[in-house]
Chains A and B, each alone.
Chain A
Amino acid sequence: DVKVTQSSRYLVKRTGEKVFLECVQDMDHENMFWYRQDPGLGLRLIYFSYDVKMKEKGDIPEGYSVSREKKERFSLILESASTNQTSMYLCASSKLASGSRETQYFGPGTRLLVL
């Protein structure tokens, strides 16, 4: 079974802090994704990566950056956390494929509260 793990289930940070969210997958997937999930808004893509050191902006990249130094690890960085970044953060991975038919496998999520 594909396993996607995230470094924390719950996190409390203060406004202005730098926050790192880590995601690791064990299935040698090329693609990795970071989403945030908010009530009534569904899943919104922040950033994704289809290869080591490659990254592309999703729909809501403002206030976030990412790092992918190794294939299995994709980090989301909040340079200066703000209260409007309080949310559930979900990491996902998938195989690289033509035709966009690969399913995504999600981690358990990190619920971040910024005070």
Chain B
Amino acid sequence: GQQVMQIPQYQHVQEGEDFTTYCNSSTTLSNIQWYKQRPGGHPVFLIQLVKSGEVKKQKRLTFQFGEAKKNSSLHITATQTTDVGTYFCADPTGGGNKLTFGTGTQLKVEL
């Protein structure tokens, strides 16, 4: 199926540093969703981007959808220990209300 490449796979940061994860697709996406999974938990929906070049913010999190709708990023400003977890992007290109998830970026925040 459609594969969404997500980088990096892991990221360790000091508390207060910024963090960014990227998703790239070889095909144009109709929209992209982002999920967060806390350690020991399950994925929880964060946001959906639909429009070309769209930027959305949730407090310290900034989500972007590329102009060509082939890539997306999630940026966290001044990370906190509560940001620890794995962040997944997901795209619906497979159709049928399915989502194809990226491989995820695991974020660890050290004090």
- Using a CB–CB cutoff of 8 Å, the interface residues on chain B facing chain A are 1, 6, 9, 30-31, 33, 41-45, 48, 50, 88, 90, 92, 95-104
Q: Chain A's nearest CB lies how many Å from the CB of B8?
A: 12
CB pair A103 B45 closer than 8 Å: yes
Tell me the bound Cα distance from A58 to B6 in angstroms. Answer: 20
Q: Chain A's nearest CB lies how many Å from the CB of B15?
A: 25
A35-B101, A40-B9, A45-B1 provided; 7 other pairs, C-beta below 8 A?
A: A40-B103, A48-B98, A58-B98, A99-B30, A100-B92, A103-B48, A109-B42
Encode A16-43 as 1/0 by CB contact (under 8 A) with B.
Answer: 0000000000000001010100001111
- Chain A contact-residue range equals 20 to 34
A97 at the interface (CB under 8 A from B): yes
